A and B are shown apart, each in its own frame.
Chain A
C-alpha cells in the first residue's frame, strides 16, 4: 500500500484512532487484553435475577454494584459511555462534549421489561382491571416520563448523542448479531462519501433478563452447560451446544486518514474493506450451501482490494452453536481455499460470550488490538475440536505472531451478514 490517503478505489482512506471496550472480562483495553491473551472466561452464573426453572442459568453479564435497580437501556447507555469515553480520550478528537462527526449505535431494540411492567402494574390506579387496561390506567395517572425517554427505540443513541455532542441525528441500528459490524460499516461509508471526517461507532448490549434467556432457549440457541460456566462457550468444539449470552460495549473512533494526520493523531489501524450480503433462506439459519456468507466474505475482500493470502488471521463469528460454527467453516474453506490451513481463526466469544448487538464492534476492537500486539487471542475450551472443522482455531493458548491484516466476521439472525477487514497503518 502506498502513502496515498485514498484507497485502491480512490475513496478516502478510513482509519481508527480510538478504541474503547467493556466486556465481562473487564473495563478498558488493558484488562480485556490481559484476560483475552491469558485465556480467561468472563462467563458466570447469572445473579441479576432468579434463574430457577430456566434451562440456561449462565451468561457474561456485567454487574456493577450500587447502581440501583437494573434497567436495560440505562445499562446499555452506561456500558456504551464507558467504551466511548475510552475511545474518544485515546483519539484525542474533539472535546469533552463535542464530537465532530455523526454517531452510529448498534443496540438491541428497546423494550419495556418485566421489571418495569410490574412497577406499572402495581400502581395505585388500576384496581378492578387487568392486563394492558390496568397498565394504561396507571400510566395515565402516575409519572412515567423517565420511561418515555428510555424506552423509545432511538433512546440509547439519543442519550449518547447528548452526552458526547455528536453531530446530526444519531442512527440507532440493528442487524441482530451483525449490528456492531454494521455500525462500523455505516461510519466507513459516511467518511468515504465525504459527509464527515470522523464518526463515532458504538456497539452496546446490556439487555440480559429472564425473557431474553427464555426466548433464545426457545430457539435452542443457548448453551445449557450450567455446571461449568467458564467452559460452556466452546466454539468449534465437538461438544459445543449453543452460545452464551453476554453484555458489553466497544467504540471505535473512525477518521479519514487525512483528518487524522492533520491533527497528528496516532493511527491504530485502517479499515480496509467491508462486505455484506443478506440471506434468503431462513430466519435463524444460513443457506445450506453457505452462499450468502461466502459472498459476504468475498465482497469484503473485493472492497479491500485484497486476496485471501493477505489475511493474517480471522476473528471468527464463532458463536459456539452447532449451526454457526459449521457454516462459518464451510464459508471460510470456500473463500480461503489453500490459505485456510495457514490462517489462524480464533473466537473471542469463547471467553467473552456472545454480546449480540455489541459483538461486531467488540470483535473489531479486538482485531485492532491483535494487530497492535502481534498476538492472537486463543479460542479457549477447545478440548476436543470438531473433527469436521479442520482449521487452525488457535486452541487454548494465545499465539505470538506478526499480524498485519485481520478479517472479522459477523452473521446475524434474520440473515444479515457483515465482514470487516482491518490492517496496520501503511508503513
Chain B
C-alpha cells in the first residue's frame, strides 16, 4: 500500500518536472512570436510584458518593405529546394551504385565518401571558396547551390537504405532485360520512399538553416539567405529596432516549425535510424 502511494507521488513529481522542462524549452519560441507583435517601447519595458498590449504588424511591415526579407526568403527557399531535389536524385543514384553494383574502385569511392563525411565544413570552406571564386561563382545562386548537390551524408544514408533491399528483385529485373537505369528508376526508387523522405527532410532542414557557407559566398544582399541576413542585421552597427529582429527570427523559424510539426514522425524516426547505425 505504501509503495503504491509513493509511486503515485513520484509520478506527480515526474510529470511536474517534465512539464516544467517542456515550458522551458518552448517558452523562447512563444516569447519570440509574441514579441514580434510588440512595439519598440514595450519590448524595452522593465519588467517585460508577456502578451503584447498593443499588437502591431509594423515589425513585419518594416521587415518586408525596408529590409527586403521577402527576397531573402525567396533565396532561402530556392537554394533549399534545389539542394534537396538534387540530393534526392544524386545521392540515391550513388548510393545504389555503392550498394548493389560491382565496379572497379568501388571500395576506394566508398572510402572517399566515408573519409569526407568525417571532415567538417569548417576545414574545407576556404579552399572551396577559392575553387568557387576561380569558377567565377562567388555571390551567385550556383555558388550557393553547387557545392551541396551531393553530400557524403546523403550518399551514406541511401547506401545503407538500399543495401537492405533484396537482391532478388534486381535479378528479376535483369532477367527480364531491364537496363540498370530502368532497374534503378522502376525497381529501386519506388522502394526507397522512406529513405528518400528522411533524406529530403534532413537535407531541406540543413540547407534552410545553413549559415557558414552562405555567409562566405553571398557577398551582396541580392544573394543573402535568411540566416545570413538575420545574423548580419542583428550584429549590424545600428540595431535599434528590436521588434523587427524578433519578426525576422520568427520568419526564419516558423516555416520550419510548421514543416516539422506536420512531418514530426519522419523527422524523429530519421534521426533515430541514422543514429543507431
Bound pair (A, B): no
